[in-house]
Amino acid sequence: MCGIVGYIGHREAYPIILKGLKRLEYRGYDSAGIALYDGNDIKLSKTKGKVDDLEARVAKEINTEGTLGIGHTRWATHGVPNDVNSHPHYSNSGELVIIHNGIIENYEPLKQELETRGYVFKSDTDTEVLVNLIEDIKKNEDIMLGKAVQIALNQVVGAYAIAVFDRSKPNEIVVARLGSPLAIGIGEDEFFIASDASPFIEYTNNAIYLEDEEMAVVRRGKDVKIRKIPDDSLVDSYVQELQLNLEQIEKGGYPHFMLKEIYEQPHAIGDTFRGRLLPEEAIIKMSGVEDNMKKFLNANRIIIIACGTSWHAGLVAEYIFEDLARIQVEVDYASEFRYRNPVITENDVVIAISQSGETADTLAAIKLAKSRGAFVFGVCNVVGSSIARETDAGAYTHAGPEIGVASTKAFTTQITILTLIALRMARAKGTISSSDFRHHMIELEMIPEKVEIALKSDALVSQIADIYKNAKNFLYLGRGYNFPVALEGALKLKEISYIHAEGYPAAEMKHGPIALIDENMPTVVIATKKGHYDKIVSNIQEIKSRSGVIIAIVTKGDVTVKELADHVIEVPETLECLAPLLTTIPLQLLSYHIAVLLGKNVDQPRNLAKSVTVE
Ligand code: M6R
């Protein structure tokens, strides 16, 4: 939530910050702003709306000279999205200017205290309170900005990644982090500051990722020194070499990131299992699992925690682990788990799933599980993310950057990793025979080419989307392994087309949702050959006999469902446990095409942000 960018060096800051904001817009896009320093004065421009709106405003409002600047793209937490609440925010004197990603939870008492001392607030934001708190401390104690920031941050409760500079100190930007990501790109006599490395990838491959409770005063032409916020102690900073490349964060000829990411799935899934899935040697190699095999084998149960699409991947994993590794699995929303006083023991293995690795609820749930003695294993996509660092061990999905707000390749690569873990565990426990183990590996290895085939349904799916784009409600049904796919299909449709959709286990339909069925409500049924096929066929008949419309996802060559359904979309045959990797593809395409046909902003749906770093 919210993207922050900063630059200090020898180049013009504005084009770097503007491009950086466009790359970070997936993090939040209800307003945007920029502050530049030209050696004499701060020039600030901000607006409700997108970064394009900011660009238009800047062109009218300010001259963009200056080699120091900060920029922000916002996802509102405190105060509605409007010009005034947009970042950057000035302090009362106009001497300090700040951008912030996160939430200051105790901003109310701090604000009241500052008001008694004469401070006046223009916005409804917690951020304006923070910049004035810093100003108040700096003024009263007559200290440098860095020190004032440190003292102020020790008084705040909440989460932040901030960048702040002082009109009287035009050669430095102070940055700090707690709970929200912040990277410092290190160039030749220049520094870049950003929520992730995408804004500066074409300038440098070297970056320092601040850890929680760390801050730095980034000075023009000087080395970066990182300090701990609580006690001001110096930290040994670690300069990482970035693995990202420009191609990965650009649309590459696709109209939307979401479509690009849907089409990247064959590669992404292959990248996820490359070097890990070795059918010829009959081995699954995953160091994070191998090193902790005892924990996995001695576990009484596995608890999976996640949010949104990652939670759906967890539900698929529940079936896989129980089926293959014969271990009890519970899947919980991280947001519920963290506040539920859950029963956790040292014999539980907790698997936390998160694309971004920054989801606040998942992070808090991990901390809770760890505090109760559980071993926590992370499945993340973003390398070096907070969740990757907070977990005891883990495995990256290696899906490459996912920029579209609607998760697509994250889902299939998470399922891939979880399948590998379940298979590895099953082999070690002896709950799968060696021939079955090999068979599963060979089938998994064939998934990328089968996803390619599933993607060929694109044109057909687009025609179906055109027929049903004006429906007000959709029902998605699936059983067994395909039940979570139904949930995921419904979520995809809701989030990018704003059409109400519900995912349901097909058999549960009779217990309520069947009342909704009429000729105006399309039902998407996942009816692949393996796993409860006959039962699903009965469910389809029940819907048809109530004038319902059926869009069915079927196994190639299906005959029975073809006769009953209004539309069928075929996917290749695979093992039952691998079916979600294929059946999800047409559902992603369906939501994509409906959203495009309705003229929605596919990559930046309203009210959503890519990483939900607030509760
Ligand atoms: O980064 P995470 O996987 O932790 O994110 C979890 C959810 O916020 C995310 O999956 C969200 O539901 C997506 N917008 C779904 O497409």
Segment 165-175, tens digit of pLDDT = 999 988 999 99
CA angle 378, 382, 383 (to 5 degrees): 80
Q: Which of 583, 593, 603, 586 is nearest to 499 (CA)?
A: 593
pTM confidence score: 0.86
pLDDT for 90 equals: 97
Residue 395: band (very low, low, confident or very high) from pLDDT cuts 50, 70, 90: very high
Residue 10: band (very low, low, confident or very high) from pLDDT cuts 50, 70, 90: very high
Is 613's pLDDT higher than 80? no
Which residue CA neighbors atom 4 of ligand 1 most closely? 354
By most ligand atoms within 8 Å of CB, the mutation choice from 307, 608, 610 for ligand 1 is 307
Q: Which of 472, 330, 481, 494 is nearest to 407 (CA)?
A: 494
Question: Any residues with CB less than 8 A from the CB of 594 and at least 6 apart, and which?
Answer: 465, 468, 469, 493, 497, 499
Q: Does residue 73 contact residue 26 with C-beta atoms inside 8 Å? A: no
Residue 608: band (very low, low, confident or very high) from pLDDT cuts 50, 70, 90: confident
By most ligand atoms within 8 Å of CB, the mutation choice from 26, 257, 304, 310 for ligand 1 is 310
Q: Scanning the structure block, which residue is given the tokens 């901003």?
A: 107
- Tell me the C-alpha distance between 183 and 185, whole Å: 6
Which residue CA neighbors atom 12 of ligand 1 most closely? 308
Check if 406 has its Cβ closer than 6 Å to any atom of ligand 1: yes
pLDDT for 567 equals: 97
Which residue CA neighbors atom 9 of ligand 1 most closely? 308
pLDDT for 290 equals: 95
Per-residue pLDDT tens for 203-259?
Answer: 999 999 999 999 999 999 888 999 999 999 999 888 989 887 888 888 889 999 999
Q: Which helix (H) or strand (E) holds 363?
A: helix 360-371
Burial class (CB in 10 A: 0-12, 13-18, 19+), 557: exposed
By most ligand atoms within 8 Å of CB, the mutation choice from 75, 180, 261, 309 for ligand 1 is 309
CA angle 273, 279, 281 (to 5 degrees): 120
Look up residue 194 and give its two tokens: 């950003």
- Tell me the C-alpha distance between 234 and 140, whole Å: 25
Question: Any residues with CB less than 8 A from the CB of 417 and at least 6 apart, and which?
Answer: 272, 379, 395, 397
Per-residue pLDDT tens for 495-552?
Answer: 999 999 999 999 898 898 888 899 999 999 999 998 789 899 999 999 998 899 999 9
pLDDT for 111 equals: 97
Question: Any residues with CB less than 8 A from the CB of 561 and at least 6 apart, and which?
Answer: 525, 527, 536, 537, 540, 552, 554, 568
pLDDT for 531 equals: 76
- Indicate which residues carry an active-site annotation: 2, 610
Ligand 1 centroid–CA 389 distance in Å is 19
Check if 574 has its Cβ closer than 6 Å to any atom of ligand 1: no
Amino acid at 606: R
Check if 495 has its Cβ closer than 6 Å to any atom of ligand 1: yes
Average pLDDT, integer, range 114-126 = 96
Check if 609 has its Cβ closer than 6 Å to any atom of ligand 1: no
Alpha helices (runs of H) in 154-302, residue ranges in sequence order: 257-263, 265-273, 287-290, 293-298
pLDDT for 134 equals: 98
Average pLDDT, integer, range 150-165 = 96
Residue 430: band (very low, low, confident or very high) from pLDDT cuts 50, 70, 90: very high
Q: What is the CA radius of gyration of the chain?
A: 25
- Tell me the C-alpha distance between 284 and 414, whole Å: 16
Ligand 1 atom index nearest CA of 308: 12
Ligand 1 centroid–CA 418 distance in Å is 17
Ligand 1 atom index nearest CA of 306: 4
Per-residue pLDDT tens for 550-605?
Answer: 999 999 999 999 999 999 999 999 999 999 999 999 999 999 999 999 999 999 89
Burial class (CB in 10 A: 0-12, 13-18, 19+), 300: exposed
Average pLDDT, integer, range 1-13 = 94
Amino acid at 231: D
Residue 112: band (very low, low, confident or very high) from pLDDT cuts 50, 70, 90: very high
Which residue CA neighbors atom 11 of ligand 1 most closely? 308
DSSP track, 495-550: HHH--EEEEEEGGGGGGTGGGG-STTSEEEEEE-SSSSHHHHHHHHHHHHTTT-EE
Q: Which of 188, 190, 178, 180 is nearest to 68 (CA)?
A: 190
Average pLDDT, integer, range 24-38 = 90
Per-residue pLDDT tens for 279-307?
Answer: 999 999 999 999 999 999 999 999 999 99
Alpha helices (runs of H) in 251-292, residue ranges in sequence order: 257-263, 265-273, 287-290
| Domains of the chain with bracketed CATH | 3-248 (3.60.20.10), 252-445 (3.40.50.10490), 454-600 (3.40.50.10490)
Check if 359 has its Cβ closer than 6 Å to any atom of ligand 1: yes
pLDDT, mean over the chain: 94
Ligand 1 centroid–CA 54 distance in Å is 27
Is 180's pLDDT higher than 90? no
pLDDT for 81 equals: 85
pLDDT for 215 equals: 97
pLDDT for 40 equals: 86
Q: Does residue 175 contact residue 182 with C-beta atoms inside 8 Å? A: yes
DSSP track, 243-261: ---GGGGS-TT-SSHHHHH
Which residue CA neighbors atom 7 of ligand 1 most closely? 308
Which residue CA neighbors atom 14 of ligand 1 most closely? 406
Prior bond to 88 cis, omega within 30? yes
pLDDT for 348 equals: 95
- From residue 331, alpha-carbon distances to 248, 339, 522 in Å are 32, 15, 29
Check if 412 has its Cβ closer than 6 Å to any atom of ligand 1: no
Q: Which of 53, 16, 5 is nearest to 32 (CA)?
A: 53
CA angle 461, 466, 469 (to 5 degrees): 110
